[in-house]
């Protein structure tokens, strides 16, 4: 057999209907001359065996094709027209070989062995179907032709009966059975091996992401310090609203709204800070594509600029004299000219003057952080609401269970990612968690899926980070505080309004007040399972005491497993089928 391995498989599949067709001609001609009763039993045995092994081989090929060909009609065409033109397509043949990998050579040995067995079966049947058909057609016109046909069939059927005495037929179909079994076992073993490799690779990638997320606080600290060092202006009022996120990738990106630009027509700058990459131009263009254009808002005091278009952004990058961008021409064949961004020395001035999609970069402890423009707007159109206001019911917008559970997941992820960095204190208040409106839409509609935390860059905040040490950090008290916030989000009510809340005495110190809050939280905790289910209850339980047995150096890894993952499952359940109530 010549051709590609895939084409050979089609030729072998075609051998089955050819053999069955020969038997059908034999049956028809035998009926014509009254000899079918002599071969009826053996005919049925051969026909049944051929149909059975054809079905097995077709199933093996279908299992081989399903991952390769997405179109069901294409698979149907391949199996119904074996050996046709579609079996000679190079693209499918390449996928066939790639699908089998190291098993390809052995698989083809079995296919070729099956082909030889089918050739022997057709020789054993010894029915010249075309000649028999011609004789059958001519027998209706001449009596001597019918006589010759009867004489021919008598000789053929005699051989057919002798070859069907069980020995030869049994051997041939046992060979087919063995080849079909081997093909099935080989493909199953190949698939199992592939799945194991994929699972191993996925687990390895997941472990890498987990480690990155557990060390994310270091990146967050580095970004904060880089930003703080870039405020060399005399404004003394700059701050930042950091978007809190539940991260599932290792990519270090920060969406931040920078504030305090009083002398500028734009008082707020929404930016994205990303770890430095070689091709910053592609990064900025990709970012612009992802930012929706803003609709005009005629009520605001000053017009808001629309998101920069890619064409104008590139034109500005190359030709504007107002930017801090320098363009380096590299004489290399077929290589684009990539702009080189300058280091930001005065962030306040850079954000006011620059019109490029990338303002430049900040120097971090281990890498550069590029700052990309997302949008700019006036602070008088930006309204906000705090988590405290939402839980107290001071805002008409409904905080549904689904939204509360999503905020719980984001807050828990925030503690994992930012605790022990200057972005997050150990005991953030409900009023520190802020939600903003859309700026360009309904002023009363707040994005409850996008909590922010506000920080300023005064001297005390920056100085307090210098003595921070993960080994010295008391994470248990911070997690107690998180556990109480999770309880409040679970039930949609604040701790102070609960009947089991312990009212501290007038002379109680801060430590005593914390202890009373923990006692009240543990009473409240008993009702979580009925309200939110086992996953949410597990997360709260670990925060309110379960973390005490976590090793000091591995509490983040334990938190990822015992808090973040259960809360993620809880949120996914509601998102996929739960009802917002």
Domains in the chain, CATH or no CATH each:
5-207 (no CATH), 217-382 (no CATH), 385-577 (1.10.510)
User: What integer pLDDT is reported at residue 433 of this predicted model?
Assistant: 94
Residues in Cβ contact with 185 at an 8 Å cutoff, skipping those fewer than 6 apart: none
CA 29/CA 144 separation, integer angstroms = 15
- Global confidence as pTM: 0.58
User: What integer pLDDT is reported at residue 292 of this predicted model?
Assistant: 45
User: What integer pLDDT is reported at residue 12 of this predicted model?
Assistant: 87
User: What integer pLDDT is reported at residue 460 of this predicted model?
Assistant: 52
In the three-class reduction of DSSP (H, G, I as helix; E, B as strand; rest coil), residue 223 is classed as helix
User: What integer pLDDT is reported at residue 210 of this predicted model?
Assistant: 78
How many Cβ atoms sit within 10 Å of the Cβ of residue 188?
A: 11
User: What integer pLDDT is reported at residue 123 of this predicted model?
Assistant: 78
User: What integer pLDDT is reported at residue 453 of this predicted model?
Assistant: 93
Residues in Cβ contact with 335 at an 8 Å cutoff, skipping those fewer than 6 apart: none
CA 287/CA 302 separation, integer angstroms = 25
Strands 433-436 and 452-456: antiparallel
Start-to-end CA span in the chain (Å): 67
∠ CA 446-448-454, nearest 5°, is 85
CA 90/CA 67 separation, integer angstroms = 17
Spatial CA neighbour of 22 closest among 166, 160, 162: 160
Residues in Cβ contact with 294 at an 8 Å cutoff, skipping those fewer than 6 apart: 304, 306, 307, 375, 439, 440
Tokens at 416, concatenated: 């994992």
- Do residues 492 and 438 touch, judged by C-beta distance below 8 A? no
Cα-based distances in Å from 4 to 99, 122, 131, 304:
14, 23, 32, 63
Tokens at 158, concatenated: 């005699």
- Do residues 325 and 339 touch, judged by C-beta distance below 8 A? yes
CA 556/CA 550 separation, integer angstroms = 9
Spatial CA neighbour of 383 closest among 430, 429, 446: 446
- According to DSSP, residue 355 is labeled -
Q: Which residues of the chain have pLDDT under 50?
A: 127-131, 135, 139-143, 162-163, 278-339, 441, 466-472, 506, 578-581
Residue burial 122-135, b: 16+ Cβ < 10 Å; e: rest: eebbebebeebeeb
Residues in a beta bridge with 446 = 437
Strands 253-259 and 268-275: antiparallel
In the three-class reduction of DSSP (H, G, I as helix; E, B as strand; rest coil), residue 327 is classed as strand
């Amino acid at each position: 057999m010549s051709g590609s391995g895939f084409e050979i498989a089609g030729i072998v599949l075609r051998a089955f209907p050819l053999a069955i067709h020969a038997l059908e001609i034999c049956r028809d001609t035998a009926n014509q001359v009254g000899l079918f009763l002599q071969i009826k039993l053996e005919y049925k045995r051969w026909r049944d065996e051929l149909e059975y092994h054809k079905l097995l081989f077709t199933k093996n090929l279908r299992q081989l094709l399903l991952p390769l060909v997405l179109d069901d009609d294409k698979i149907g065409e391949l199996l119904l027209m074996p050996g046709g033109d579609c079996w000679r397509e190079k693209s499918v043949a390449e996928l066939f070989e790639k699908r089998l990998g190291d098993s390809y050579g052995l698989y083809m040995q079995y296919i070729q062995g099956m082909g030889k067995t089918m050739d022997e079966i057709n020789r054993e049947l010894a029915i010249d179907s075309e000649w028999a058909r011609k004789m059958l057609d001519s027998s209706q016109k001449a009596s001597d032709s019918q006589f010759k046909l009867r004489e021919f069939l008598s000789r053929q059927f005699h051989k057919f009966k002798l070859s069907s005495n069980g020995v030869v037929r049994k051997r041939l179909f046992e060979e087919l059975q063995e080849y079909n079994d081997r093909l099935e076992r080989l493909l199953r073993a190949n698939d199992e091996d592939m799945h194991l490799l994929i699972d191993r690779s996925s687990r390895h990638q997941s472990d890498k992401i987990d480690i990155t997320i557990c060390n994310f606080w270091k990146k967050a600290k580095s970004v904060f310090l880089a930003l703080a060092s870039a405020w060399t202006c005399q404004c003394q009022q700059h701050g930042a609203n950091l978007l809190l996120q539940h991260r599932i990738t290792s990519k270090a990106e920060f969406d931040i709204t920078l504030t305090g630009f009083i002398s500028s027509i734009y008082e707020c700058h929404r930016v994205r800070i990303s770890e430095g990459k070689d091709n910053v131009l592609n990064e900025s263009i990709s970012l612009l594509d992802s930012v929706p254009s803003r609709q005009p808002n005629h009520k605001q005091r000053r017009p808001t600029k629309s998101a920069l278009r890619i064409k104008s952004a590139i034109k500005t990058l190359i030709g504007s004299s107002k930017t801090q961008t320098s363009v380096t021409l590299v004489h290399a064949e077929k290589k684009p000219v990539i702009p080189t961004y300058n280091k930001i020395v005065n962030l306040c001035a850079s954000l006011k003057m620059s019109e490029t999609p990338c303002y430049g970069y900040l120097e971090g402890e281990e890498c550069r952080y590029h700052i990309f423009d997302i949008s700019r707007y006036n602070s008088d159109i930006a309204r906000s609401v705090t988590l405290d206001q939402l839980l107290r019911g001071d805002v008409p917008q409904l905080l549904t269970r689904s939204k509360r559970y999503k905020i719980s997941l984001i807050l828990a992820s925030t503690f994992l990612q930012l605790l022990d960095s200057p972005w997050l204190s150990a005991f953030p208040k409900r009023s520190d968690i802020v939600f903003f409106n859309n700026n360009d839409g309904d002023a009363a509609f707040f994005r409850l899926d996008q909590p922010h935390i506000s920080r300023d860059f005064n001297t005390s905040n920056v100085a307090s980070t210098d003595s921070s040490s993960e080994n010295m950090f008391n994470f248990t008290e911070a997690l107690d505080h998180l556990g109480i916030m999770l309880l409040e989000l679970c039930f949609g009510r604040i701790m102070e309004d609960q009947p089991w809340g312990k009212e501290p005495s007038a002379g109680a110190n801060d430590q005593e007040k914390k202890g009373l809050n923990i006692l009240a939280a543990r009473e409240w905790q008993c009702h979580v399972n009925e309200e939110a289910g086992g996953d949410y209850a597990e997360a709260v339980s670990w925060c309110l005491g379960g973390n005490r047995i976590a090793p000091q150096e591995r509490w983040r890894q334990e938190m990822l497993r015992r808090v973040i993952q259960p809360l993620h499952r809880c949120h996914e359940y509601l998102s996929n089928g739960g009802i917002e109530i």
